[in-house]
């Protein structure tokens, strides 16, 4: 977040979200013990730090806070067993996301303060107040900033010419779909077909004779697993899904989260050599290691190596953004989010965005303003990134669907990289593994907590 000049006599406004059982009592002990500390903090008491949604922090900044402090019980002292340890994981990723967006992390602080640590509470408040005072008022939240400059298109290796699919594989795929429908093994096959303009679109096949419409080549960019949670498809019964390796990872995520049952889906795994846009290999395909799906019921094509072709161009773009100052990153992302028209195309194409109702549609209370303006756009895009943390498989369907070209792929990729570096977790491979933000390890890092 960019910092302007500090007005004379200005004092920072700091919102503190505190645990009811420890930090709040510690603050009370500080008061009853007549321990003086800076009066800049406004306390908001919650049952547990595990119940502090990142959205609460966003709302505090949105409503004019210059800094936010989150404080709770020490590890092992949580009245709800592990709420603070789950919060530690959540805020590890939230901090890194906010830093990537350009927020000065001195504005976002965390501490452990027990019920007997009134003096520590006073010290924490004084230290946080001084740090926020040093960087000055927070800039207006959600206002359109001057764009730093548009990132150039990815400059990865030139794509090889789009090869025509092997006729034998085409016939095998159509024959398999036809047989599954004829024998009643599935009620519908979800795959790809070409429309009248030659563009590849999703195909919902319910009759054996329609199987001739199915195709698969480098134009098949859509993640079809999004249809597995749609009532239109589910009411047909068992589903046959034509799936690339990245699509299969989304299927595993849906099984992992109990949105579908594995036995209700027949996976027609497709060996994929990459998908193309405008004659160029998509960025996600450069580093793909699942060209042959790791999970399938039927495999079409000859299994290939799982090694990546090249460095992911998205990582290069992320590195370029991280090399900027926080002020430049903040200006860049403010300009990006200002373009959002709140069409929710990103939500519609994402297999993991299945909540009903969505947080963006809740009105009691209304956490995210529904209209397309700065504050609502900022809250929506940050909250969506956090909701997908540890779940997004990097199919980039959201970025492709965005009509105004917001670089959602970079945000999702950044969060995924941080989770993999921190906990070695990659989503979509093991349906039995707990998602990383729903569990913890006692030895998780807490170097950012006072």
First to last CA, the chain: 22
User: How confident is the model at residue 215, as a pLDDT?
Assistant: 94
Q: Torsions phi, psi of 386, nearest 5?
A: -70, -35
Return mean pLDDT, the chain: 91
Q: Which residues are within 8 A (CB) of 222 and not within 5 positions of it... i.e. 6 or more apart?
A: 192, 200, 201, 202, 349, 397
pLDDT digits (tens, 9 = 90+) for 87-126: 999 999 999 999 999 999 999 999 999 999 999 999 999 9
Q: Which stretches does DSSP call E strand in 54-198? A: 67-72, 108-112, 188-194
Find out whether 3 and 139 touch, Cβ atoms under 8 Å: yes
Confidence of residue 148 (pLDDT cuts 50, 70, 90): low
Kindly tell me if the per-residue pLDDT of 435 is higher than 80: yes
| Beta-sheet pairing, 67-72 with 188-194 | unpaired
pLDDT of res. 413: 97
Tens of pLDDT, residues 351-406: 999 999 999 999 888 889 888 888 999 999 999 999 999 999 999 999 999 999 99
Where exactly are the structural domains of the chain? 14-135, 167-300, 313-438
Q: Measured between alpha carbons, how far is 222 from 400 in angstroms, rounded to an integer?
A: 9
Q: Which pLDDT score is estimated for 2?
A: 45
Indicate the pLDDT class of residue 307, thresholds 50, 70 and 90.
confident
Q: What percent of the chain has pLDDT over 90?
A: 81
pLDDT over threshold 60, residue 155: no
List all residues 6 or more positions away from 179 whose beta carbon is below 8 Å from its beta carbon: 185
Residue 154 has pLDDT above 90, yes or no: no
Q: Is the pLDDT of residue 156 over 70?
A: no
Q: What ranges in 136-244 are assigned the alpha helix state H?
A: 167-182, 231-234
For residue 3, which of 133, 94, 128, 100 has the smallest C-alpha distance? 133
Q: Cβ-count burial of 12 within 10 angstroms (0-12 exposed, 13-18 middle, 19+ buried)?
A: buried
pLDDT tens sequence across 185-226: 999 999 999 998 889 999 999 999 999 999 999 899 999 999
Mean pLDDT over 138-143 rounds to 80
Instruction: Give the separation between CA 272 and CA 304, rounded to whole angstroms.
Output: 9
The structure's pTM equals: 0.92
Q: Which residues fall within 8 angstroms of residue 108, CB to CB, at 6 or more apart?
A: 57, 67, 68, 95, 98
In this structure, CATH architecture of domain 14-135: 3-Layer(aba) Sandwich (3.40)
For 29-50, how does the pLDDT look when each residue is reduced to its tens digit (9 = 90+)?
A: 999 999 999 999 999 999 999 9
Residue 302 pLDDT: 87
Give the model's pLDDT for residue 8. Answer: 80
Structure tokens at 101: 């967006």
| Residues 308-331 pLDDT 10s | 677 899 999 999 999 999 989 999
């Amino acid at each position: 977040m960019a910092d302007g000049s500090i007005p004379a006599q200005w004092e920072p406004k700091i919102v503190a979200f505190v645990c009811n059982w420890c930090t709040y009592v510690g603050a009370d002990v500080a008061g009853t013990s007549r321990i003086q500390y800076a009066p800049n903090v406004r306390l908001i008491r919650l049952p547990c730090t595990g119940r502090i949604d990142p959205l609460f922090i966003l709302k505090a900044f949105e409503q004019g806070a210059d800094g936010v402090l989150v404080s709770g019980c020490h590890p092992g002292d949580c009245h709800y067993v592990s709420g603070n340890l789950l919060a530690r994981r959540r805020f590890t990723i939230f901090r890194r996301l906010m830093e990537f967006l350009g927020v000065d992390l001195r504005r976002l602080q965390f501490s452990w303060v027990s019920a007997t640590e009134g003096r520590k509470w006073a010290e924490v408040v004084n230290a946080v107040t001084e740090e926020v005072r040093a960087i000055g008022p927070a800039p207006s939240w959600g206002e359109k900033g001057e764009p730093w400059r548009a990132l150039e298109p990815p400059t990865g290796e030139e794509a090889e010419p789009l090869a025509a699919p092997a006729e034998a594989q085409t016939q095998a795929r159509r024959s398999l779909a036809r047989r599954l429908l004829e024998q009643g093994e599935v009620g519908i096959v979800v795959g790809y077909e070409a429309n009248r303009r030659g563009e590849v679109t999703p195909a919902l096949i319910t009759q054996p004779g329609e199987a001739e419409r199915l195709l698969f080549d480098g134009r098949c960019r859509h993640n079809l697993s999004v249809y597995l949670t749609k009532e239109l498809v589910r009411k047909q019964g068992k589903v046959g899904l034509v799936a690339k390796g990245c699509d299969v990872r989304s299927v595993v995520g849906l099984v992992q989260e109990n949105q579908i049952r594995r036995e209700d889906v027949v996976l027609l795994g497709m060996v994929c050599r990459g998908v193309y846009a405008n004659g160029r290999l998509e960025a996600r395909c450069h580093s793909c290691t699942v060209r042959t799906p790791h999970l399938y019921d039927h495999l079409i094509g000859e299994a290939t190596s799982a090694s990546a072709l090249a460095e992911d161009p998205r990582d290069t773009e992320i590195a370029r953004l991280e090399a900027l100052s926080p002020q430049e990153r903040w200006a860049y992302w403010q300009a990006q989010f200002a373009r959002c028209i709140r069409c929710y195309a990103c939500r519609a194409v994402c297999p993991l965005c299945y909540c009903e109702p969505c947080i963006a549609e809740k009105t009691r209370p209304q956490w995210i303003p529904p209209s397309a303006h700065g504050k609502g756009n900022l809250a929506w895009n940050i909250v969506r990134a956090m909701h997908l943390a540890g779940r997004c498989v990097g199919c980039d369907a959201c970025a492709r669907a965005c009509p105004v070209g917001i670089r959602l792929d970079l945000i999702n990729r950044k969060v995924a990289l941080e989770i993999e570096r921190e906990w070695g977790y990659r989503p979509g491979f093991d349906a039995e593994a707990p998602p990383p933000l729903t569990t913890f390890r006692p030895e998780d890092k807490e170097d950012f907590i006072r």
